[in-house]
Structure 1
Amino acid sequence: MPNDFQLQQNSSTSNGSTENKAGVNVVVSFIPCVIFLYINCVMLYTLRSKPVFRETSRYLLLYNLLLAETLQMALAQMMFLIAVGMVLMTRLVCLLVFIPTIITTVISPFNLALMSLDTYVAVCFPLRHASIVTVPTTYGAIAVVWAISLANMLVKVIMLKFLDARPFGQFMSMLCTETNIFQLKIFSEFESGFVCAQFVSVGLIIIISYVGVMVAAKTASIDKVSANKASKTVLLHMIQMGLSLSSTLVNTILTGLHGKVDVITFRHLRFSLFVCLINLPRCLSCLIYGLRDKMIRPILIRHLRLGIHFKIYNFHTHDVNR
């Protein structure tokens, strides 16, 4: 039988190995997140750099989508670091951390529905598009989306205040997660109902828009090249909606696996779900829309390469001066 020293040595080795793997996971998740946050921020700056982007409905909707997803990505990375660091906090602080996460998570699917409707009107009603989809109506639609998100968050906070007897100043014995802060069964039922209603409504809007664009593409009076491009765009909206809504399954999956697998496996699964279902969908908008749009692509690439050109210029100037 191993003696106490050997047991302690094996335990410390195991703990050290676990800490090293956790550190690798943090680095692997942190570096891509920083890169995509930088690209998204450059994209946001690009969409505010010219009047045409600030005065066109589809670019306003794209800016709103990117803003929500950039905030989601930053908040998700922060929560992942808190979970890896095993940081405990009071219920009030945990709730305050999750409020912007709850708000921004709801925005993305509804914003994709608005973008699909904009594409549908542009293809099927090209002569009336300018009068139907204006900058004021676009801002109004964006305000409605934010209002729905805020209402969803307020309902949860009110339910937490009056249905959960635990004081907000109490330190949580578990990590700050949405499942741990909203523990009562009524919260999971409310969340399931809201997500189902959101999925059905947004899915119907995108499907109807896609069918309408496809039907329009077959008519002789519509530019088939533009209609085919629009149908692919709406299809991308549908795929991205599925990826966005898949992030809502992370807590359900982790809750189901908790206690059924060992700690190391659970941490690996949590890391994999974080990268694939939370970070990855938030990184696609810039790549899908920024690089496909002929007006955005050259400006975005120029802004992304500006720092590199600046460094090369300084390097050559330094050599010449020498």
Structure 2
Amino acid sequence: MADNNTTAADGGSSSSLQQVNDMIIIVQVMNAIFIYIICLLIFTFFKKDTFLSNTRYIFFAHTLLADCLYLIMTNNLLLLTYFSVTMPAAVCVFFCVLLCELTFVTPLTLTAMSLERYVAICMPLRHGELSTVRRAIHCILLIHSISAIQPIIIVSIFFASVPLGFYTQYKLCSADMFIAHKWQRHLRSVIGQFYFLVMSITIVFTYVRIIAVAKESSDNKKSFSKCRKTVILHAIQLFLCLIQLWCPFIEAAILPIYLKLYNIRFFDYIVFILAPRCLCPLVYGLRDEKFFLAIKCYVFFGVNKNISPILVDNLITGHMKT
């Protein structure tokens, strides 16, 4: 009887291990596909001067670069945790600070992109004045400054709470390592939810204003409809990006009653990290006619003569003028 129970337990644990191994493989395949797509879009952006001088595409490229770095770093940390590989605490501090900043870079950039669409539709006469390359670069610097507020506060409290000997110890790298006091978790939550509130209000405001202007004007309904759909997709992506801030609290609540924590973390990683950072290429890389023309040229490595680089340049320039 005992042997049967032991066999059943061994079978259950091996089945669970096989399930986790399968999920690891799935995550690696998905990551490779998404990083390839993002790298292709980044390459396309830097190959065309017309994109380098357009505020909307500058924000788009900034999002792609941030997402690519974020996906690589989170995937590496996921693998290190899964295989129980430790690292010096000082190195983990650096990685977690950078990851924490990148967590906010994407939603803040999406908010800036929605504001750019608001200016283009609701303030067309001032769009050329406000949406310049210089202002876009300043806005990106501001985005990184705002994104760094939370990690700077959390790490400053952490530095004051632990002895210097802690940084030479080898640890499993995790954001929970920085929670020395229970109230720090609440502070992190308050800052994250404040960001969520401000960005959500901004997205809703731009959407409502674009809809209002579209109803008042009968001209260029197609452009208004496309901008409205873009803002909606930004809102969906923003929601998924920001809901990942709740993942540590969800895991902490579920862990006592559901011990398969790896399954929960894989689900969080796929739904709230991979999915939002795939929507961005779909929103601008595939829905944007100018970018899609350029992508078609490079995805076939210039073999298809019907979509040669010169023809694509002429088509993109024509689209930009119209």
Given that residues 285 and 292 in structure 2 are in contact (C-alpha distance below 8 angstroms), is that contact kept between their aligned partners in structure 1? yes
Q: 1:272 aligns with which of 247, 267, 272?
A: 267
Given that residues 45 and 52 in structure 2 are in contact (C-alpha distance below 8 angstroms), is that contact kept between their aligned partners in structure 1? yes
Given that residues 72 and 282 in structure 1 are in contact (C-alpha distance below 8 angstroms), is that contact kept between their aligned partners in structure 2? no
Deviation at 1:117, TM superposition (A): 0.8
Provide the rounded CA distance (Å) in 2 between the counterparts of 1:307 and 1:222: 38
- Which runs of 5 or more structure 2 residues have no equivalent in the other structure? 305-322
Q: Secondary structure at the match of 1:128?
A: helix
- Which runs of 5 or more structure 1 residues have no equivalent in the other structure? 310-322
Match of 2:134 in 1: 136
AA aligned opposite 2:269:
F
Given that residues 88 and 168 in structure 2 are in contact (C-alpha distance below 8 angstroms), is that contact kept between their aligned partners in structure 1? yes
Deviation at 1:90, TM superposition (A): 3.2
Provide the rounded CA distance (Å) in 1 between the counterparts of 2:234 and 2:2: 59
AA aligned opposite 2:241:
S
AA aligned opposite 1:26:
I
Deviation at 1:304, TM superposition (A): 2.3
Pair 18,90 (structure 1): closer, same or farther in 2 beyond 3 Å:
farther
AA aligned opposite 1:182:
I
Pair 308,164 (structure 1): closer, same or farther in 2 beyond 3 Å:
farther
Q: How does 1:157-172 map to 2 (within 5 A)?
A: 157-165=155-163, 167-172=166-171
Q: Secondary structure at the match of 2:256?
A: coil
Match of 2:279 in 1: 284
Superimposed CA distance per residue, residues 94-113 of structure 1 (whole angstroms, 9 cap, x where no aligned partner): 21221221111111111111
Given that residues 216 and 222 in structure 1 are in contact (C-alpha distance below 8 angstroms), is that contact kept between their aligned partners in structure 2? no
Match of 2:207 in 1: 210
Given that residues 90 and 168 in structure 2 are in contact (C-alpha distance below 8 angstroms), is that contact kept between their aligned partners in structure 1? yes
Superimposed CA distance per residue, residues 24-47 of structure 1 (whole angstroms, 9 cap, x where no aligned partner): 111011001101000001111111
Match of 1:226 in 2: 223
Given that residues 123 and 222 in structure 1 are in contact (C-alpha distance below 8 angstroms), is that contact kept between their aligned partners in structure 2? no
Deviation at 1:15, TM superposition (A): 4.8
Provide the rounded CA distance (Å) in 2 between the counterparts of 1:243 and 1:157: 25
Superimposed CA distance per residue, residues 184-224 of structure 1 (whole angstroms, 9 cap, x where no aligned partner): 22321221111111111111111111111111101237532
RMSD of Structure 2 on Structure 1 (CA):
2.2
Pair 62,288 (structure 1): closer, same or farther in 2 beyond 3 Å:
same
TM-score, normalization: structure 2?
0.87
Provide the rounded CA distance (Å) in 1 between the counterparts of 2:123 and 2:94: 44
Match of 1:312 in 2: none
AA aligned opposite 1:177:
S
Match of 1:149 in 2: 147
Given that residues 158 and 180 in structure 2 are in contact (C-alpha distance below 8 angstroms), is that contact kept between their aligned partners in structure 1? no
TM-score, normalization: structure 1?
0.87
Q: How does 1:1-322 map to 2 (within 5 A)?
A: 1-2=1-2, 13-165=11-163, 167-172=166-171, 175-220=172-217, 222-262=219-259, 265-306=260-301
Provide the rounded CA distance (Å) in 2 between the counterparts of 1:187 and 1:54: 41
Given that residues 37 and 70 in structure 1 are in contact (C-alpha distance below 8 angstroms), is that contact kept between their aligned partners in structure 2? yes
AA aligned opposite 1:266:
L
Kindly tell me the number of residue pairs found equivalent between the two proteins: 303
Provide the rounded CA distance (Å) in 2 between the counterparts of 1:233 and 1:19: 41
Given that residues 72 and 104 in structure 1 are in contact (C-alpha distance below 8 angstroms), is that contact kept between their aligned partners in structure 2? yes
Deviation at 1:240, TM superposition (A): 1.0
Match of 2:311 in 1: none
Deviation at 1:14, TM superposition (A): 5.0
AA aligned opposite 2:189:
S
Superimposed CA distance per residue, residues 235-268 of structure 1 (whole angstroms, 9 cap, x where no aligned partner): 1111111011012122111111223223xx3222
Provide the rounded CA distance (Å) in 2 between the counterparts of 1:201 and 1:64: 21
Given that residues 214 and 221 in structure 2 are in contact (C-alpha distance below 8 angstroms), is that contact kept between their aligned partners in structure 1? yes
